[in-house]
Amino acid sequence: MEEAKNAGFGSATVGTSHFHFQIGDKRLIQAHLGFAYFALLVGALAGVLQTLQRTGVINLPSSLGYYQLLTLHGVGLALVFTTLFIVGFLFSGVAKTTGGELSRRERAWGWSGYVLMVVGSLLAFLSIGMNDASVLYTFYAPLKASPLFYFGLAGLVLGSWCSSITIFSAFLRWRRAHPGESSPLFVYMSVATMIMWDICTLGVVIEVAFLLIPWSLGWVDRVDVSLSRTLFWYFGHALVYFWLLPAYIYWYINIPRLVKGEIFSNSLPRLTFILFILYSIPVGLHHQFNEPGIDSFWKFVQTVLTYFVVIPSFMTAFALLATFELAGRSLGGKGLLGWVTKLPYKDVRFLAPFLGILLFVPAGIGGIINASYQLNQVVHNTLWVTGHFHLTLASSVVLTFFGISYMLIPVLTGRKLTRAANRLGIIQALIWVVGMSFMSGAMHAVGLLGEPRRISYTTYGDSSVAQLWIPYRQAMAIGGGILFIGMVLFLLLVFYLWFLAPKSEMPNEYPIGEVNPEQQKPPYILDRWAIWIGVAVGLIVLAYTVPFAQMFIHPAPGALPARTW
């Protein structure tokens, strides 16, 4: 396709369009992205320092603790960057597909959420920076951080609840205007994501508000460690789906437009997201397989439920391949695999997430291994697990977020995705994949050799076991260094596209895939959220009642606060 005149490379794949975000929505979305990139920088700086320290390449100055950095890395990336970026991205698609803009009230909720999330994050960062919260992003009791830390995280979560009100409001606004119709797919999937988020965050909010904050303020002496951990992991597994689902949204909805194809099905993806609501929460015990105080039987029940959550990912894999194949064939691809060559690999908005999709194969397989009950003992708390989530979150999801950024920033700012920026973006994505292959690959291997995760540099007294780990540590250091270069390049490109790229005469199109009009209409029951929330709650009650009840009927003595750093 010819580049539209004076509109930059970005117009070549999907063209330009008259749609542009209203100024109020633009500011709201940009605010979220901006703080997200700040958290990304903070987390990445911590990460590169960590990887060089724990592989023995550098020594940190005494003012910086390894575990302090690790806490910053986890909180900054896994909690702050992700939440802010996801909300910004969902707002953008919801605004576009519910008539082109959010309402004033929806924006007000959005801003309230933003302020709470930013203030909360800054409080958390501050307490970590003062070394009062070196408790890692899982903040397991009875390690006791400063109350500022817990208040900060509570603010982050409460803010995200406000953000979810924006999305629910937009959905209801659209439904009032289109009674009886199935909602646009982007809105539908955003609503599903936030329903799952709101239900799962209840666990961590209860933990923080009722167990940890009173205890950290000294109002209460002891904390029930098992109860606090179980509440956390009730939240903690669905958290990873909160990261994944927005990436799925981009794959399901935006990418089909980029490949000049159609959304393969308007119906089954909705079922996919319903299945995620149902099966991503009553599974948290699979993070607690090796713990005392929880019945083995219920750990196994949650293993079964965990396997169920693999099914919507199978469905997604099929839908994506079908979309690619049909698009490739319609563009002239012949024979069994000719369609593969017809995909827009030269467009970073497609290529980066596509690489993420490829990496999701080993990522998902690793996840099934982790969930396999007895097999978990081989990998628990080893670097294998770290390797795993650097594939799922830090590759599949983050590469997709890179692609979203290259798409969204030009649309928001009216600047061009220039040919040069696109090419550098491709290089940046490839650097990321190379770095991650070294680092995550080495982590998987050395994890099987027993090297633990979340641990500073050690040779365990020059033990023979630790000697085996040395070559893998070298690979991890190389990989981590390459990744940091990739991150710096990404942030420089973001800065360029946001402030410096030449203005375009017409904004790039915000690509939203179309559904084939002859497609079967989705059954309205999928839009009746109350039913599915009910089923989700039923499954949570089934999976968690006995484990929680046992903690109240036969409670363990609580633990006193510990500050061991």
Site for another protein in 253-312 (CB under 8 A): 265, 267-268, 271, 288-296, 299-300, 303-304, 307, 310-311
Instruction: Tell which positions 382-401 bind another protein, by CB under 8 A.
Output: 382
Q: How far apart are CA 210 and CA 225, in angstroms?
A: 13
453 is catalytic: yes
32 is catalytic: no
Nearest to another protein of 115, 271 (CB atom): 271
Please pick, among 388, 415, 444, 473, the residue that the annotation labels catalytic.
388
Q: How far apart are CA 202 and CA 1, in angstroms?
A: 49
**Min dist. Cβ of residue 387 to another protein (A):** 15
- Looking at this protein, which amino acid is placed at residue 90? L
Nearest to another protein of 23, 61 (CB atom): 61
8 A C-beta contact, residue 91 and residue 102: yes
Instruction: Tell which positions 69-128 bind another protein, by CB under 8 A.
Output: none
- Assess 375 for contact with another protein (CB under 8 A): yes
Q: How many residues bind another protein (CB under 8 A)?
A: 80
Of 463, 467, 516, 545, which lies in the binding site for another protein, with binding defined by CB under 8 A?
Answer: 463
Closest CA to 468 of 488, 496, 445, 436: 445
**Min dist. Cβ of residue 238 to another protein (A):** 20
Instruction: Tell which positions 430-449 bind another protein, by CB under 8 A.
Output: 449
DSSP state, residue 449: T
Of 164, 376, 418, 428, which lies in the binding site for another protein, with binding defined by CB under 8 A?
Answer: 376
Nearest to another protein of 197, 289 (CB atom): 289
Of 130, 217, 340, 368, which lies in the binding site for another protein, with binding defined by CB under 8 A?
Answer: 368
Nearest to another protein of 341, 520 (CB atom): 520
Q: How far apart are CA 38 and CA 423, in angstroms?
A: 24
Closest CA to 143 of 68, 79, 39: 68
Cα 478 to Cα 210, 277, 315, 329, 522, distances in angstroms: 43, 38, 36, 40, 49
DSSP state, residue 452: B
Please pick, among 171, 453, 484, 510, the residue that the annotation labels catalytic.
453
Q: How far apart are CA 87 and CA 433, in angstroms?
A: 25
**Min dist. Cβ of residue 418 to another protein (A):** 40
Please pick, among 37, 389, 401, 544, the residue that the annotation labels catalytic.
389
173 is catalytic: no
Main-chain phi, psi angles of 278, to 5 degrees:
-70, -40
Main-chain phi, psi angles of 143, to 5 degrees:
-65, 125
Which two tokens mark 180? 């009886």
Closest CA to 150 of 85, 219, 209, 94: 209
Of 457, 496, 529, 548, which lies in the binding site for another protein, with binding defined by CB under 8 A?
Answer: 457
237 is catalytic: yes
Residues 387/393/398/399 CA torsion (nearest 10 deg): 60
Q: How far apart are CA 63 and CA 130, in angstroms?
A: 10
Which two tokens mark 322? 């079908």
Which two tokens mark 244? 């994944």
Outline where DSSP puts E strands in 108-186: none
Q: How far apart are CA 351 and CA 9, in angstroms?
A: 14
**Min dist. Cβ of residue 224 to another protein (A):** 8
**Min dist. Cβ of residue 35 to another protein (A):** 28
**Min dist. Cβ of residue 137 to another protein (A):** 11
67 is catalytic: no
Of 158, 172, 315, 488, which lies in the binding site for another protein, with binding defined by CB under 8 A?
Answer: 315
**Min dist. Cβ of residue 420 to another protein (A):** 41
Binding-site string for another protein from residue 492 to residue 531, where x marks contact by CB under 8 A and - marks none: ----------------------------x-xx-xx-----
Please pick, among 241, 250, 276, 484, the residue that the annotation labels catalytic.
241
**Min dist. Cβ of residue 205 to another protein (A):** 21
> Considering only 218-226, 332-340, 425-433, 502-510, which stretch makes contact with another protein by CB under 8 A?
218-226
388 is catalytic: yes
Instruction: Tell which positions 148-207 bind another protein, by CB under 8 A.
Output: none
Please pick, among 20, 27, 419, 454, the residue that the annotation labels catalytic.
454
Nearest to another protein of 112, 372 (CB atom): 372
Outline where DSSP puts E strands in 330-482: none
Closest CA to 565 of 39, 155, 139, 55: 139
Main-chain phi, psi angles of 483, to 5 degrees:
-60, -40
- Assess 224 for contact with another protein (CB under 8 A): yes
Number of CB atoms found within 10 A of residue 561's CB: 16
Task: Report, as residue numbers or ranges, the catalytic residues.
Answer: 237, 241, 388-390, 453-454
